[in-house]
Amino acid sequence: MWEELEISSGTAIIVLIALYFIIKWGVKNGIRDYFKEEEQKESMLKRYEEYHNEQENEKNE
């Protein structure tokens, strides 16, 4: 199979290892970015709820 592509087995192994680490790096960064966005959404929601509660307390006073 590798002969058809004119690639030696050593080169193929190096390419596969490099591809593995590139995909691993991409997935890791994607997961990290997802959790950062979720954390930001939660903090924004918390700030909104606190602001909303403050506004209701001012109205009730």
- Evaluate if residue 1 carries a pLDDT over 80: no
Q: Are 12 and 18 in contact (CB under 8 A)?
A: no
DSSP letter for 24, please: H
- Domain assignment of residue 26, yes or no: yes
Q: Which domain holds residue 42?
A: 22-61
Provide the 3-class DSSP secondary structure of residue 58: helix
Q: Residue 56's pLDDT is what?
A: 79
* pLDDT tens digits, 22-38: 999 999 999 999 888 88
- Domain assignment of residue 14, yes or no: no
**Mean pLDDT, rounded, for 1-19:** 83
Band (pLDDT 50/70/90 cuts) for residue 61 is: low
- Domain assignment of residue 36, yes or no: yes
- Domain assignment of residue 3, yes or no: no
Question: How many structural domains is the chain composed of?
Answer: 1
Query: What's the mean per-residue pLDDT of the chain?
Result: 85
